[in-house]
């Protein structure tokens, strides 16, 4: 996210690297039926360690916006020129998300491709939208108004989700939309975010739900506030405040975010799928705590002996997320014949040979995910060694 410069904070790369490695770990178990609870998303309301990963990434996107765009402003670049660069990058991120959703376009592995069912929302698509809007807010408003806008987004989203009736279904609710009739396509008790996704995006939704999307349209609004919380940290890091004092303020505001999030949870529960306002405050507070720890240990105390693997991941974060998604899908689409004569995916073939016979199901599943993360670390280390940093 940041340009390669000698003065860059190592803790930023480590934070990003830990986050992206965690994202790859939880996205690639050996078996989706055998996962440790901490490595699962909450079923609906609630927040597990896995539910921290995506908001952590959007948080660091916000930090990068402050640091990188401030440098461009200091060089005298106009807001128009900067926003054109931001727009170009956002479009590229969105395009990569669409490629990931569509791969391999019906061209390989007998893939059944139907453009009418291609998912439009997604992780990279949300990053693209959040990055564009958050960058615009950073450029056009001062720090005070940035904070006010973040708060306005959270309150408006709360009011919209809890006060506006769902058209055709009655009272507002926070229930998970569930398909109950494959013929009529009616959903049971959809919340407003799900209703908007279903009516505007139709079949272009998360395949597992068919009627809503965890990276949907309305829930992207509070996700922008997550990035703005990172922008606030960026201001702190660029200030002339003494480093240890910065750490203190990080913990103070982190505690405040967690406390306010926990209080708000009583009326607007933590929910990643809906990206609720309480979830934004809680996860932003947790991100501040985690970054403060990294900043203290790495950039203040100089304990860097453990950081290189995460720096390696952090320097090509978007690239490795995209490529691991492509490889995982490829392993699922390639079909081979196993020892029993059954046709299975290459993923299942390798998983059943390497881990299943030697471990309990849940540990075998985790071992596959750890191997996947480690293999990609090796690939990224080669890129790092050759100073190849693919900027997206």
d(CA 145, CA 135): 13
* CA dist list (Å): 271 to 209, 261, 274: 16, 11, 5
Q: What is the pLDDT of residue 339?
A: 84
pLDDT, tens digit (0-9, with 9 covering 90-100), for 211-258:
889 999 999 999 999 999 999 999 999 999 999 999 999 999 999 999
Q: Is the CA virtual torsion 21, 24, 30, 34 positive or negative?
A: positive
**pLDDT of res. 210:** 77
Rounded CA separation 307/318 (Å): 19
- Enumerate the domain spans of the chain: 1-40+305-392, 59-302
Q: What SS3 state is found at 170?
A: strand
Q: What is the pLDDT of residues 342-369, one digit of tens each?
A: 999 999 999 999 999 999 999 999 999 9
Number of H helices, E strands in the chain: 13, 4
Q: Count Cβ atoms within 10 A of the Cβ of residue 76 and give its class: 0-12 exposed, 13-18 middle, 19 or more buried.
A: exposed
Strand stretches in 176-238, DSSP E = 178-179, 187-188
Peptide bond into 104 cis (omega under 30): yes
Q: What DSSP character marks residue 166?
A: B
Cis bond upstream, residue 130 (ω within 30): no
pLDDT computed for residue 145 by the predictor: 97
Low-confidence ranges of the chain (pLDDT < 70): 1-7, 179-189
Contact 210, 202 (CB under 8 A): no
- Specify the pLDDT at position 211: 83
pLDDT computed for residue 1 by the predictor:
36
Cα separations in angstroms, 377 against 97, 123, 228, 250, 328: 22, 21, 30, 30, 15
Euclidean distance between CA atoms 26 and 44, whole angstroms: 17
């Amino acid at each position: 996210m940041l340009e390669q410069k000698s003065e860059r904070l190592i803790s930023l790369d480590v934070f990003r690297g830990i986050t992206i490695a965690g994202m790859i770990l939880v996205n690639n178990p050996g078996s989706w039926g055998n996962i440790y609870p901490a490595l699962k998303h909450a079923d609906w309301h609630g927040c597990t360690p896995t539910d921290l990963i995506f908001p952590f990434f959007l948080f660091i996107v916000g930090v990068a916006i402050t640091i990188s765009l401030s440098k461009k402003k200091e060089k005298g670049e106009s807001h128009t020129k900067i926003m054109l660069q931001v727009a170009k990058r956002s479009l590229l991120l969105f395009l990569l998300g669409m490629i990931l959703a569509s791969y391999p376009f019906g061209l390989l592995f007998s893939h059944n491709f139907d453009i009418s069912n291609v998912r439009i929302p997604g992780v990279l698509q949300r990053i693209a939208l959040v990055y564009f809007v958050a960058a615009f807010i950073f450029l056009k408003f001062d720090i005070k108004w940035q904070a006010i806008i973040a708060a306005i987004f959270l309150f408006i989203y709360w009011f919209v989700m809890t006060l506006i009736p769902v058209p055709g279904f009655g009272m507002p609710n926070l229930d998970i939309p569930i398909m109950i009739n494959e013929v009529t396509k009616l959903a049971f008790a959809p919340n407003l975010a799900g209703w908007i996704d279903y009516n505007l995006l139709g079949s272009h939704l998360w395949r597992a739900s068919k009627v809503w999307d965890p990276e949907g349209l309305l829930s992207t609004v509070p996700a922008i506030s997550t990035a703005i919380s990172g922008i606030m940290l960026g201001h702190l890091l660029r200030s002339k405040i003494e480093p240890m004092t910065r750490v203190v303020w990080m913990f103070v505001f982190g505690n405040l975010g967690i406390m306010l999030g926990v209080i708000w949870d009583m009326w607007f529960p933590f929910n990643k799928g809906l990206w609720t306002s309480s979830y934004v405050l809680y996860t932003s507070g947790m991100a501040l705590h985690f970054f403060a720890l990294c900043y203290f240990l790495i950039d203040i105390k100089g304990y860097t002996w453990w950081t290189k693997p995460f720096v390696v991941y952090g320097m090509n974060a978007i690239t490795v997320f995209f490529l691991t998604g492509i490889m995982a899908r490829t392993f699922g689409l390639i079909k081979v014949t196993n020892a029993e004569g059954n046709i299975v995916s290459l993923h299942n073939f390798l998983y059943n040979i390497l881990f299943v016979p030697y471990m309990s199901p849940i540990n075998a599943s985790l071992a596959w995910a750890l191997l996947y993360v480690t293999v990609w670390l090796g690939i990224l280390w080669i890129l790092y060694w050759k100073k190849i940093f693919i900027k997206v």
